[in-house]
Chain A
Amino acid sequence: MTAPRHIRTPLARVRGFGAARSGTDTFWHQRVTAVASVPLTIAAIVIMIMLLGRNQAAVAQILGSPLVAIIMLLFVVSITAHMRIGMQVIIEDYVHHDPLKLVLLVSNSFFAIIVGLTSVYGLLKLSFGL
């Protein structure tokens, strides 16, 4: 009889090893960003309607004003974090070829972060009048 190589139970070994190789963190973050995104999306739509038909100088001034800029920053961060998780789930559901899955998962992170930080950069630029 050889001794078992480890004393961890099977449950402990598989725990947290789903298709994403992680536990329930993404599930929870998707819910938190979903809850945050509802009021932030409503606020962003109100802001966009307020800015319709205005010229560039007025749009830049209003978008860069503190309250509007902070709401838009929160909105952008919340939705890009949320959509990164959502697209990750879609990729994990439909792409079963591991190398392609890896490429798509990394591309997804790149896309969400690039869009998010580009928007944050634009808003900060307007806010600081650079």
Chain B
Amino acid sequence: MAETRSLDGRAPAQRPLSPHLQIYRPMLTMMMSIVHRITGAANYFGTILLAWWINAAAGPSGYARFQWFAGSWIGRIILFGYTWSVIHHMLGGIRHLIWDSGRGFGANEREWLAAANLIGSIAITIILWVIGLLAMGGSQ
């Protein structure tokens, strides 16, 4: 109803719109909320890799193709990002489940949870990759 005029025939009043993202100073809790959604979307498309890996395991040539991709530098970067994205979304999800129980809404708690989410996801991703690269026997 944008063209609606007021009763006396004047143009509609320019009322303020509800504040949106660009109005606010970025805060950690807000950034973690946005990142939770972005990592969820990334994980969504990452499942293509999961389905590829599972089905590639059926035969040597198909698995060689997957291993070539996974071992390439672009494949490594994508898989590292995917690992972090999954871990971050999982920790963020646990945070949301805590909130669902009605806990963790205090000023200190929510800041602490947001920081733990970010630091935890980075730390766990690096630990998993160190374990993974060691399991593969170093460089290859």
Bitwise, A24-46 to B at CB < 8 A (1) or not (0) is 00000001001101100100010
Which residue of chain B lies nearest to A31 when distances are taken between CB atoms in the complex? B100
Q: Which of B50, B97, B135, B140 contacts A119 (CB under 8 A)?
A: B50
The answer to whether A90 and B41 have CB atoms under 8 Å apart is: yes
Chain A hits for B47, CB < 8 A: 79-80, 83, 115, 119
Q: Which of A76, A83, A123 contacts B40 (CB under 8 A)?
A: A83
Q: Does B126 contact A (CB under 8 A)?
A: no
Chain A hits for B110, CB < 8 A: none
How large, as a class, is the contact surface on chain B?
A: 20 to 34
Give the docked Cα–Cα distance between A122 and B50 (Å). 11
The answer to whether B132 and A52 have CB atoms under 8 Å apart is: yes
Question: A residues near B, CB below 8 A?
Answer: 31, 34-35, 37-38, 41, 45, 49-50, 52-53, 55-57, 59-60, 63, 72, 76, 79-80, 83, 86-87, 90, 111, 115, 118-119, 121-123, 125-126
What are 28 inter-chain pairs, A to B, with CB distance below 8 A? A31-B100, A34-B93, A34-B97, A49-B132, A52-B132, A52-B135, A53-B136, A55-B63, A56-B59, A56-B60, A60-B57, A63-B57, A79-B43, A80-B47, A83-B40, A83-B43, A83-B47, A86-B40, A90-B37, A111-B44, A115-B47, A115-B50, A119-B51, A119-B54, A122-B54, A122-B55, A125-B55, A126-B57
